[in-house]
Structure 1
Amino acid sequence: MQNLTLTWQASAGASAALYGAAFAVRRVRAVGAAGRRELASAVLREAGTLLALFTLWQLVGHLSLMSTDHALDRAEWIHRTELKFGLPDEVSWQRAVVPHPWLVEAANYYYATMHFGVMLVVLLWLFLRHRARYAWVRTTVVLTTAACLLIQFIPVAPPRMLPGNGFVDLAVQYGQSVYAGGPVAGVVPDQLSAMPSVHVAWCVIVAVAVIGVARSPWRWLVVLHPLVTVVVVVVTANHFWADGLVAIGILLVVYLVQQAASGWRHHALPLHTGSSPSEARQERSSAGR
C-alpha cells in the first residue's frame, strides 16, 4: 500500500503551477464571467496551498531521515515516561487487536487513507457550502501542520520500530505498510516523524469544524473520527499517546493565536466615513475571516 505518490520536488512544482494558474485566471478579462473567474482562481489557489503543505511534509520527512541518530532512543524514552506517569501501555492495546485479523486490516486501512480523505472532504464541503468559515479552518490546518512539522525535524521513531518493547509492525505483517520497501520512485517515507501526530491533529480539526459549522444533530457523529483515529494510531503502533497529546496541545495554541489575531483585526479595523451600518458590519466580518 503506497501512501506517498509525489516527491517534494514534484509537489512543489505542481503547487507553484497552481498558484500561477490562479493568478492567470484572475487576470483574464471576460465579460460576464467575473464570478466564475473568482471561483476558479480560488479553487486553484487553495489546491496550491494544500500541495505546498504536502511539499513541506515530504521535505521534513526527507531531511529528518538524513539525521537518524537517537531516534530510537527518543522513542524508548517516551515509552518509559508514559508508563512512569501511569498512561496505559500501548502494547496491551495492540495485543487486544492482534487476534482479530479483520480488525487489524481495517485499522491499517484507516491509518493509511482516512486522515487525508476525511480532511479533503470537509475542506471541500466548507469551501462550497460555508465559504465564510473555510478560511479559518484552512488556516488552522496550515498553522497546526507547519508547527508539527517543525518539531518533526527532530527524528523520533514510532512504536512499531521497538520490537524489544513488545510492539509489532502490523502493517508490514499484513502487507499494508505505506512505508514498506523504503523509498519508491524517489519518494522518501516519512518514518521518523512520529512526534507529534499530524493524524491526531487533523482528526480533531475536522471534528471541531463540523460540529461548529453544521446544524444537524447528526453532526455529533463526527466525534467518532478522532476517537477511532486515536485508537488506530495506537494499535497499529504508529504513535504513542504522547504524540497525540502534543499534537492536540499545538492545535489549542493555534486556536488561541487565531482567536487573538481575529479579535485584534476586528478592533483595529478603521471605519470609513459615510459607511452604512451594513457596510461596516460586512467589513468587520470580512476582517474576522
Structure 2
Amino acid sequence: MGEATARTLEGRTAAPPPNGESADRPPADRRLSPRGPSPRGRRSPRRPRLWFEVLLIGVSYWVYSLVRNAVPEQKAQALRNADWIWGAEHTLRIAVEDTVNRAVNSVTWLVVGMNYYYATLHFVLTIGVLVWLYRWHPGRYAAARLVLFATTGVALLGYYLFPLAPPRLMPGGDFVDTVVVHHTWGSMASGNLADVSNQYAAMPSMHIGWSVWCGVMIAVLVRPVWGKVLGVLYPVATLVVIVSTANHFWLDAVGGLLCLGFGFGLSYVWYGAFPYRLARRVPVVDR
C-alpha cells in the first residue's frame, strides 16, 4: 500500500502542467512583461514595424507643416499678443531677451552657429532619438512616440488660438533677426523662406517641446553619466538659442513645456506608465 501510494504521488508530481506550461515557468499571463502583467484596461506596446513608422512620421510631419502654415496669419493680433507677452515678462522681471539677442549678435561665429543649430538640430536630433528608441528600446518606442505626437498636435491649437509674432518681428528695432543680418541659411520663418512658413506661430515653442522630450528620453534611459549630462544640456542649449536668435520669448518655452506635459499625460493614460517605466523589450505573449 505504501509503495503504491508513493508511485501515485510521484506520477502526479511528474505530470506536466496543463496547457503545455513548463513546471519551472510562470503562467503565460505573468510573462507579459518583466514587471508582471499589464494593468487591466491598459494597452500593451507592440513591436514597431519600420515601414509603418517611416510612413507615419513622414505623413504626420507633412500634415503638421500643412496645418501650421495654413493657420491664418493674423498679423495685427499676433503683434498685439507679442506686446502683451513682452509686457507680462516685464511685470515678471524676466524680459531680458533683447539684451541676450544683441549680446550674442555681436559675436559673429557664435550667432551664426546658433542660426544653424536652430535650423537643423531640432529635426536631426529628434529623428535620431526616435531611431535610437526604435532600435534599442522597442518596448518603450510606441509610448514615447505618442508623447511626441500628442505634444505636436496640441501645439497646433496654440498656433490657431494664440497667433504670436516672434520677437524679431516686433516693431521698434529692439531685436535683431540674426538670420537676415548674417545672411545664413536658417529658420524657415526668416529670409527667403519666410513666404512658405507661417510667421506668427511662435507660441508654443516646439523647439523646446521636442528638445525636452529628447533630453528626458536620453537622460533617463542612457547609462553613461556623460550621456545623461548631454540629455540635460540639450534642452538648456536650445532655450538659449531660441532666445538669442529672437525667435521666441521665454514664455513660448513655457507653452512648449505645457504641451509636452499634456503629451506625457496622454501616454500615461494610454499605456498605464510613462515610456521610460515600461519594459525595454516588447512583451512576449504565448499563444
- Shorter-normalised TM-score: what interval? 0.7 to 0.9
Per-residue deviation, residues 139-178 of structure 1 (Å, max 9, x unmatched): 1110000011121113211111014161111111111243
- Determine the C-alpha separation between the residues in 1 that align with 2:53 and 2:240: 31
Q: CA 1:190–1:53 in 2, change beyond 3 Å: closer, same or farther?
A: farther
Whether 2:206 is the aligned partner of 1:198: answer yes
Q: SS in structure 2 opposite 1:245?
A: helix
Whether 2:66 is the aligned partner of 1:55: answer no
Q: Which protein is bigger by CA-based radius of gyration?
A: 2
Once the 2 structures are TM-superposed, how far is the Cα of residue 60 of structure 1 from its aligned partner? Answer: 2.5
* CA contact 1:145–1:198 (8 Å) conserved in 2: yes
Whether 2:177 is the aligned partner of 1:166: answer no
TM-score with structure 1 length normalisation? 0.72
- Determine the C-alpha separation between the residues in 2 that align with 1:70 and 1:224: 35
Whether 2:227 is the aligned partner of 1:219: answer yes
Q: SS in structure 2 opposite 1:152?
A: helix
What is the CA RMSD across the aligned residues, in angstroms? Answer: 2.2
1:134 aligned residue? 141
Q: SS in structure 2 opposite 1:181?
A: helix
2:191 aligned residue? 180
Q: CA 1:111–1:183 in 2, change beyond 3 Å: closer, same or farther?
A: closer
136-145 or 84-93: bigger deviation: 84-93
- Determine the C-alpha separation between the residues in 1 that align with 2:72 and 2:113: 28
* CA contact 1:140–1:255 (8 Å) conserved in 2: yes
200-209 or 248-257: bigger deviation: 248-257
* CA contact 1:158–1:240 (8 Å) conserved in 2: yes
* CA contact 2:78–2:165 (8 Å) conserved in 1: yes
Matches within 5 A, 1:54-203: 54-154=61-161, 155-164=163-172, 166-176=174-184, 177=186, 178=188, 179-182=190-193, 188-203=196-211
Once the 2 structures are TM-superposed, how far is the Cα of residue 282 of structure 1 from its aligned partner? Answer: 4.7
Once the 2 structures are TM-superposed, how far is the Cα of residue 59 of structure 1 from its aligned partner? Answer: 1.8
Percent identity over the alignment is 34
- Determine the C-alpha separation between the residues in 2 that align with 1:66 and 1:159: 16
Structure with the larger RCO, 1 or 2 (CA within 8 Å, 6+ apart): 2
* CA contact 2:168–2:177 (8 Å) conserved in 1: yes
Q: CA 1:131–1:255 in 2, change beyond 3 Å: closer, same or farther?
A: same
2:251 aligned residue? 242
Letter in structure 1 aligned against 2:271 = S
Whether 2:238 is the aligned partner of 1:229: answer yes
Matches within 5 A, 1:270-281: none
Per-residue deviation, residues 106-154 of structure 1 (Å, max 9, x unmatched): 1101000001010111111111111111111111110000011121113
Per-residue deviation, residues 176-195 of structure 1 (Å, max 9, x unmatched): 243322567xxx21321100
Alignment size in residue pairs: 226
Unaligned runs of 5+ in 1: 1-37, 265-280, 284-289
- Determine the C-alpha separation between the residues in 1 that align with 2:173 and 2:112: 22
Which ranges of 4 or more aligned residues in structure 1 deviate by more than 6 Å?
Answer: none
Q: CA 1:241–1:170 in 2, change beyond 3 Å: closer, same or farther?
A: same
Letter in structure 1 aligned against 2:192 = G
Q: CA 1:69–1:95 in 2, change beyond 3 Å: closer, same or farther?
A: closer
Q: CA 1:92–1:66 in 2, change beyond 3 Å: closer, same or farther?
A: closer
Once the 2 structures are TM-superposed, how far is the Cα of residue 260 of structure 1 from its aligned partner? Answer: 2.9
Letter in structure 2 aligned against 1:217 = V
Letter in structure 2 aligned against 1:128 = R
Matches within 5 A, 1:245-264: 245-263=254-272
